[in-house]
């Protein structure tokens, strides 16, 4: 799906903070066919946009706090980052960074929901974000893992106007009649000290082959390829730098 305009509240970008950006670029380049384009301006801090063909789909950047595992951060579009940050604070969330300018590209803030899950918001100017979504090699789904599902179901619709499609085991988020993410209840299978988090899923043409390739490149299969009842086939992986992400193939639409 080609993205031609920013839709407030919709996923628009994903970036990884990595302790070894060079290794991360190599890993994802081999896995998804991404091509790196690093900002030559020293003010960019080594920020590297990853391209699928000529389309920007993600970014890799040095960690702001070295020594930590790599982490993916999901970005959501906002028409007014300052207003979104204020609404998040009033609803019990926190502002971790910003709001601030990102050169002439846009305005952003890094926020945490009331349970502590971190995400960012992006107000586009010269840079809109991902040029394609839900195509092989690009971001296609975002998932919140939290121990406070009711709190999340109150917070995010207030912040972004998301619809909620409740289900017995997995509630989904949507906008304009199209679901783009879900909520996973962090039960006993999750370590007690693991903080709530957002995780990206990237679309692939073959989950089994992509998972096998990722493991061959040094990743760990956190969840081996699995069929979700009435849903996609998916896998969850931890890359060699410690960042966790998912891959999926949704062939249920016909």
For the chain, the structural domain boundaries read 11-124, 139-249
- The residue whose two tokens read 């917070």 is 155
Strands (E), the chain: 11-18, 35-38, 48-52, 55-62, 71-77, 94-102, 106-112, 118-124, 139-146, 163-165, 171-175, 178-185, 197-203, 220-227, 233-238, 244-249
- Which CATH code is given to the segment(s) 139-249? 3.10.180.10
- Range with lowest mean pLDDT among 14-18, 141-145, 150-154, 174-178: 174-178
CA 141 to chain centre: 8
Question: What residues contact residue 38 under an 8 Å CB cut-off, 6+ apart?
Answer: 44, 46, 47, 48, 49
Region 146-156 average pLDDT:
96
Q: What is the pLDDT at residue 253? A: 47
Left (φ > 0), alpha (ψ -120 to 50) or beta: where does 242 sit?
left
pLDDT > 70 in the chain, percent? 94
Name the CATH superfamily housing domain 11-124. Answer: 2,3-Dihydroxybiphenyl 1,2-Dioxygenase, domain 1 (3.10.180.10)
pLDDT exceeds 90 at position 170: no
Using DSSP's 3-state secondary structure scheme, residue 76 falls into strand
CA 108 centroid distance within chain: 15
Q: Percent of the chain scored above 90 by pLDDT?
A: 78
Mean pLDDT over the full length of the chain: 92
**For residues 34-48, average pLDDT:** 80
The answer to whether domain 11-124 and domain 139-249 are alike in fold is: yes
CB 106 within 8 A of CB 62: no
pLDDT on residue 81: 97
Phi, psi of 232 (to 5 degrees): -85, 170
pLDDT for 198 beyond 80: yes
Q: What is the pLDDT of residue 7?
A: 87
- Three-class DSSP category at 132: strand
* 215-252 tens-digit pLDDT: 999 999 999 999 988 889 999 999 999 999 999 997 75
The average pLDDT across 193-211 equals 97
Residue in the block written with tokens 């016909």: 254
Note the pLDDT of residue 43.
60
**52 neighbors 137 (Cβ within 8 angstroms):** yes
Mean pLDDT of 69-91: 96
């Amino acid at each position: 799906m080609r993205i031609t305009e920013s839709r407030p509240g919709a996923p628009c970008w994903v970036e990884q903070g990595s302790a070894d950006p060079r290794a991360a670029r190599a890993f994802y380049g081999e896995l998804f066919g991404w091509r790196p384009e690093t900002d030559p301006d020293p003010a960019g801090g080594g920020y590297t946009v990853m391209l699928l063909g000529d389309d920007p789909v993600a970014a890799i950047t040095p960690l702001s706090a070295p020594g930590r595992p790599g982490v993916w951060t999901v970005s959501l579009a906002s028409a007014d980052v300052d207003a979104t940050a204020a609404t998040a604070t009033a609803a019990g969330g926190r502002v971790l960074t910003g709001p601030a300018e990102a050169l002439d590209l846009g305005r952003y803030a890094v926020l945490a929901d009331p349970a502590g899950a971190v995400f960012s918001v992006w107000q586009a100017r010269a840079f809109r974000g991902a040029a394609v979504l839900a195509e092989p090699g690009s971001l296609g789904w975002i998932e919140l893992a939290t121990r406070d599902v009711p709190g999340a179901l109150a917070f995010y619709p207030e912040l972004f106007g998301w619809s909620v499609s409740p289900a017995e085991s997995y509630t989904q988020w949507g906008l304009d009649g199209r679901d783009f993410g879900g909520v996973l209840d962090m039960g006993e299978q999750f370590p007690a000290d693991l903080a709530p988090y957002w995780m990206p899923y990237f679309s692939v043409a073959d989950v089994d082959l992509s998972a096998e390739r990722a493991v061959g490149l040094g990743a760990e299969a956190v969840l081996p390829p699995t069929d979700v009842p009435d849903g996609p086939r998916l896998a969850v992986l931890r890359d060699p730098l410690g960042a966790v992400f998912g891959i999926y193939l949704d062939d249920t639409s016909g």
